[in-house]
Structure 1
Amino acid sequence: MARIRLACVALFLAIAAGCTEVVTGTGSMDTRPQPPLTSAAALGDIATVDFCSLVDRAVIDKVSGVAEIDVSMDRCQVTVSKNGVPMVLVVGEPMDGETRDSMPTSPHQVADLPAGITVAKFEEEDMCGREIVFADQMRLRVNVALAEPDGRNLEYRTRHMCEVADAALETALKMVRGGTALHFEYGDRSYSTLAACDMIPASAVAIALDAQRVSTKRYPTGHECEWDRDSARALFAFMLRPLSLDVPPDAIEETIAGRRSYVLPDGLTIGSGCEVFTVNLRGPRPGLTEGAAVYVELFEPGQDDRACTIARGLAGAAFAKLPPV
């Protein structure tokens, strides 16, 4: 599914230090079995994780050139280039058993994993991915895709994508082992405290998509909600966006639910799509704002206008529930 365009921000790095008491006597290594590692034990509150803190730019640079790092609430997106081929690395997108997609995976062998952690892999013609699976079945995705798929030299490109994915997996696992993920500190009026699925009733989505009912995916952070039917789907998401990021030139500025909003037809070659977004709040760090967006995808081509009409209606329902500016 087309994903919401994400914003760009510089990484904020921090180092935590501790101390250990020295005890006189004969030391011995603790050989007791470690409890299976859950996502909460490794990462803390999954809803506030800065997923860019799981990315070590220096390690990624060893296998590819990092051009840009973008952060949002539920993912870190890194634009890289290897041998002249532009790729997009995404780290994060936590999923549980209810929201994991149907993409087939197989075991991926990694040495010295913490107790309860496994790694799965999935590879397609224009994508190479890894999933860190915690003991509580929460999954974190490490995914690399071609920025501009064109069908050429796919075997060669897949190999390079997997090299980048494995480098990113290495750094993410290092942070998981050490429990050193950083967290955003959101304000009291932050969108992050809202539940995306509560912003638009499923019944309203079903009517908008001309369906008797829709299936609903409640993503574990609460920041995204997805509704599906056979021939269409809709997504509502909270996001982060840099103040410096320009609005796309083809976006149409409108006022929706009393808020400055932007309507952006997707121009898909397969199917039709439209995004409506608004940006109003300061973000958890200087230079960042929070925003909310609706994305509608219709599987029939040439229907961008209809997709935008549906997206406007859903955005009106959701934006009206946002905290006052």
Structure 2
Amino acid sequence: MLFLSACTPSNSAPPKPAGPLTAAEALGDLATVDFCSLLGTAGTNGSFGSCQVTADGTTTTVGSPAKDTEPTAKPYDYRGQLPAGVTVEQSSFDAKQSCTRYVVFADHVRLMVSAFDSGEGDAKPNCGKADAAVGAVLTAATGKRVTHVAYPENSLGRIDPCELLSGDAADTALGKGSTPSAFTVDKHSCLRSGVKVSFDRGKPETTGTKVTVAGKPATESRIAAFCFLRVERPAPGAEGKVESAAFEAVDTATGVADDRTCAEARKVAEFVLPKLPS
């Protein structure tokens, strides 16, 4: 795989755009980017908003484009060549076996690049792999190698949850005291009434308690302060994968999710699920 062929970022200068490189120019429509194409593995059916590639015990993840301030990010002296207007930051919140970088474009959109080893080693080797992945991302972005996914007509990948959470019907069901806000800039997740709504594609969920929400089979999981509701269906055009609608609520008062926390997630799920294609 292209980005795993080197342990250090490339020192060869990528093609230079005419001016500061924005995410819009480098990646195009963020809602349809095949993030696996940034790692040289296009068409391997990544999730809607990211791509994971595992090789030699290390999982490299690229994606989760966001525009808000990342509190764990700090400056990083990246040794490779950078296009005009692009910077690289590092995370100060890495676990022992992980290493995370952020590629920040001129329009302040940041792309997460991380390398994680499930073994007992330290993060230093993974930081070399994370930097190599940053180099692969920049090469793809400046070399016009970014490809896009044409989601089928009934795919959740075509739906912006913020649109479903807007309007008079949403105000009536969820209350007028809140407004939807995009959780990421790829239009696959949204926050309203304290509940995060996310559409994604990946492997089937194997944990959680089986429940029924809006007449659909779902799973419910409570982890620390969070309650997660998840509804799945076969992913059109991606054999062995599922598309999911997930609803995440958090208890900020006690730090422990309870029935009231899950009721908040369920309320939003009961409004959204009937509006999704079958």
Alignment TM-score > 0.5, same fold: yes
Cα distance 1:42–1:33, how it changes in 2: closer, same or farther (>3 A)? closer
- Residue 277 of structure 1 aligns with an amino acid whose one-letter code is R
1:301 Cα deviation after fit: 3.8
Contact 1:74–1:93 under 8 Å retained in 2: yes
Q: Does 1:55 align with 2:39?
A: yes
Q: Percent identity?
A: 28
Alignment partner, residue 184 of structure 1: 149
Q: Does 1:139 align with 2:97?
A: no
Distance in 1 of aligned mates of 2:222 and 2:151: 30
Alignment partner, residue 163 of structure 2: 198
Cα distance 1:261–1:146, how it changes in 2: closer, same or farther (>3 A)? farther
Alignment partner, residue 277 of structure 1: 230
1:184 Cα deviation after fit: 1.3
1:128-169 Cα distance to aligned partner (Å, 9 max, x none): 321112222222111245659xxxx9xx72323322321221
Alignment partner, residue 11 of structure 2: none
> TM-score, length-normalised on structure 2?
0.76
Correspondences of 1:99-178 after superposition (within 5 Å): 99-126=68-95, 127-144=98-115, 157-178=122-143
Cα distance 1:217–1:277, how it changes in 2: closer, same or farther (>3 A)? same
How many aligned positions are there? 257
Distance in 1 of aligned mates of 2:249 and 2:56: 30
Alignment partner, residue 46 of structure 1: 30
1:239 Cα deviation after fit: 0.4
1:73 Cα deviation after fit: 0.4
Alignment match of 1:309 (pick from 260, 263, 266): 263
1:199-245 Cα distance to aligned partner (Å, 9 max, x none): 335868986xxxx65783442111111358xxxx4311110134xx3
Unaligned 5+ runs, structure 2: 2-14
Cα distance 1:267–1:39, how it changes in 2: closer, same or farther (>3 A)? closer
Alignment partner, residue 250 of structure 1: 208
Larger Rg: 1
Distance in 2 of aligned mates of 1:239 and 1:113: 31
Cα distance 1:306–1:265, how it changes in 2: closer, same or farther (>3 A)? farther
Distance in 1 of aligned mates of 2:21 and 2:182: 25
Contact 1:236–1:293 under 8 Å retained in 2: yes
Alignment partner, residue 73 of structure 1: 48
Aligned residue for 2:228, secondary structure, equals strand
Cα RMSD (Å):
3.4
Distance in 2 of aligned mates of 1:315 and 1:91: 28
Aligned residue for 1:308, secondary structure, equals helix
Distance in 2 of aligned mates of 1:32 and 1:147: 37
Distance in 2 of aligned mates of 1:194 and 1:143: 27
- Residue 308 of structure 1 aligns with an amino acid whose one-letter code is C
